[in-house]
Amino acid sequence: MALRMQRMRKDFLISRVRRQVEQSALVAVVNVGNIGTSQSEQVRRTLAAVGGQVLFTKNSLAAKGLEAAGAADLVPLLKGPTAIATGPAEVPLAKELLTLSTLFPDFFVIGALLNKRRVLEFMEVERLSKLPASDVIHSQLVAQMLPGSSLQVPNVAAYLIGVLHMHVEAQQAASGGGAEAVSK
């Protein structure tokens, strides 16, 4: 009975990591060093204020959760005392992680995964923290495209589809797929 409960607990922890990673725009592996209980609670509160969470989970279980969520690129970073910080808003979370690293010398970002696509090193997370939030950039971009603005894009939807189409072609050309696969 006790072994079954242990297995259920491990499965729950792996599932919790997977679920959190799948729902997050930014997933960071942080070194936690020897931070105490009160400091870890402060980390939890600070990240919760920007919609983030921190998971203090055994590295082997965290690795299984990351792999199940398609974030296996972060697994090699799980060495020593680490935690996984996640959140839906990448810029505010990056800012708070860097603020916490100034408060607690043992707490620092080792690496991160942005939008489930791009692995970031510490310096890139630091640059991310200095950007405006993505919703601010999106609203500014749309405001510039509306009639009467400086860009004056006559058909915003057609313009955005064109930009997206060019991006897809560039990605396919870079990966060797060529632009022929894109339907026009």
83 domain residue, yes or no: yes
95 domain residue, yes or no: yes
> Residue 51: phi, psi to the nearest 5?
85, 10
75 domain residue, yes or no: yes
152 domain residue, yes or no: no
Tokens 């910080």 belong to 85
57 domain residue, yes or no: yes
Tell me the β-bridge partners of 83: 30
Closest CA to 54 of 26, 79, 73: 26
Predicted confidence pLDDT, tens digits, the chain (184 residues): 677 778 899 999 999 999 999 999 999 999 999 888 999 999 999 999 999 999 999 999 999 999 999 999 999 999 999 999 999 988 899 999 999 999 998 899 999 999 888 999 999 999 888 888 777 777 877 777 676 666 666 676 777 788 778 877 877 777 665 444 444 4
Q: Domain containing 77: what range?
A: 7-133
163 domain residue, yes or no: no
Q: Rounded distance, CA 105 to CA 114, Å? A: 24
151 domain residue, yes or no: no
> Residue 126: phi, psi to the nearest 5?
-65, -45
Check which CATH number belongs to the domain holding 44 and give it: 3.30.70.1730
Cα-Cα-Cα-Cα dihedral sign, residues 74, 91, 103, 22: negative
Q: How many folded domains does the chain comprise?
A: 1
CA distances from 101 to 1, 29, 130 (A): 42, 13, 15
Q: Rounded distance, CA 41 to CA 127, Å? A: 26
146 domain residue, yes or no: no
Answer yes or no: pTM beyond 0.85: no
